[in-house]
A = this chain, B = another copy of it.
Amino acid sequence: DCKEEGATSADPYSSDPPRHPALRVNSQKPFNAEPPSEILSENFITPSAFFFKRNHLPVPRVDPHAYRLEIHGLPRGPVCLSLEEIKTKFPKHTVTATLQCAGNRRSDMNRVKQVKGLNWGISAISNATWGGARLRDVLVYAGYLPGSSARHVQFEGLDVDPTGTPYGASILLGKAVSEEGDVLLAYEMNGEDLPADHGYPLRVVVPGVVGARNVKWLGKIVVSEEESQSHWQQNDYKGFSPGTDWDTVDFKTAPAIQELPVQSAITVPQEGVVLGAGQGTVTVQGYAWSGGGREVVRVDVSLDGGRTWNVARLQHGEEGGAAPAPPNRSWAWTLWELRAPLPPGARELEIVCKAVDSSYNVQPDTVAPIWNLRGVLSNAWHRVRVRVSED
């Protein structure tokens, strides 16, 4: 039988790991934190210590030797795999993929009207190289056959609430078993064992899909006709109209967020900084990304609040790095930069960015019309105001 482990101390958070002191903490228990945003654009691959942390529950401490992954819902019956089996029975694949929390940039929505959720800035998004077995290979090994009536693959974490209920989520079976879906059961992050905060010893990485479905400390997989019935799949992480409030919301009416819409933000300069007019130019940097493997094809940057636009230079991968991603498998973000002359005489700049993806989807202009009661999917143009001094 499969054995699971959890925290045993009086404070379930007492076994949480140490974290980098530079992180901006949104919640200590559970731990939720984002890096200083300028760090994002300094590294195409976000160092693991700075990768945003989004925990829903205490971090479980898992003994890698006792660890077992259970797989249910396939015709030949349950399958149980040790970590060693997952590492040795299946070819190791690496995928560079950006993960983004559904609540990234929620603080922009809070400025319109208070929403329910952690007050994330622009850095609940990071990019890493993940290594592990393909979920497809593991499911085929466990007996998956095409043509079943199953439609979903459910994941349960080893992180549990005080009643013993684990974190859970699901993705579409089609994504899980696609040759081009690149879904991993990852045991490595940036070339090392997964850190405790990122799901040690095994997590799901679902490229192109909202962070919440990339279940960490993976304990169980269930192939099913149904979505996960977890709180987070059914009654959270869904988008609603700005006119929908907590009195009228019916979570059944909206689909669970899977692929995320096109996104971008300015990491440099930061809001409120003072630029020296003597420099003559301004350098603007940031990130852009889209869900579903859609590539970022253009980033427009305005220095005048959106009246006129310049096209940023895109950095699609590491300089001198790998070949461009195949179509619809562009899982990593695109860092970008614009160097432009300071508008003569300007005392203040309202810098704005907006990205375009390979389906030519664009970001909406303003936040209020996409405001929603959970503060998710916040992808309006990002705006930063800076001053110019005559020093």
Interface positions of A (Cβ within 8 A of B): 172, 174, 180, 239, 241-244, 254-255, 257-262, 291-292, 297-298, 300, 306, 308-311, 326-328, 354, 356, 358-366, 369-370, 377
Contact of A291 among B239, B242, B260, B359 (CB under 8 A): B359
Residues of B within 8 A of A244 (CB): 311
Q: Is the CB of B364 within 8 A of A365?
A: yes
Please name 14 further chain A to chain B contacts, defined as beta carbons within 8 Å, in addition to the given A244-B311, A300-B369, A364-B365, sorted by A numbering: A174-B180, A174-B328, A239-B298, A241-B298, A241-B309, A242-B309, A243-B300, A243-B308, A254-B298, A259-B359, A260-B359, A361-B361, A364-B364, A365-B369
Q: Tell me the nearest residue of chain B to A299, going by C-beta.
A: B241
Task: State whether A369 and B356 are in contact (beta carbons under 8 Å apart), knowing that A174-B327, A361-B262, A361-B361 are contacts in the complex.
Answer: no
Contact of A363 among B172, B364, B377 (CB under 8 A): B364
Contact of A310 among B243, B364, B377 (CB under 8 A): B243
Residues of B within 8 A of A180 (CB): 174
Residues of B within 8 A of A360 (CB): 239, 257, 259-261, 377
Residues of B within 8 A of A262 (CB): 361
- What is the count of identical protomers in the complex? 2
Residues of B within 8 A of A174 (CB): 180, 326-328
Residues of B within 8 A of A257 (CB): 360
A261 to chain B, nearest CB (A): 4
Q: Is the CB of A327 within 8 A of B172?
A: yes
A360 to B363, CA, bound (A): 11
A262 to B377, CA, bound (A): 16
Q: Is the CB of A297 within 8 A of B261?
A: no
Task: State whether A261 and B361 are in contact (beta carbons under 8 Å apart), knowing that A298-B254, A311-B244 are contacts in the complex.
Answer: yes
Residues of B within 8 A of A326 (CB): 174
Residue picked from A257, A298, A327, A360, most chain B C-beta under 10 Å: A360
23 A–B pairs (Cβ distance < 8 Å), ordered by A: A174-B180, A174-B327, A241-B300, A242-B309, A243-B309, A254-B298, A255-B297, A257-B360, A258-B359, A259-B360, A260-B359, A261-B360, A261-B361, A261-B362, A291-B359, A292-B359, A359-B361, A361-B361, A362-B369, A362-B370, A363-B364, A364-B365, A365-B365
Q: Tell me the nearest residue of chain B to A376, going by C-beta.
A: B360
Contact of A261 among B172, B300, B310, B359 (CB under 8 A): B359
Q: Tell me the nearest residue of chain B to A179, going by C-beta.
A: B146
Residues of B within 8 A of A369 (CB): 300, 306, 309, 354, 362, 365
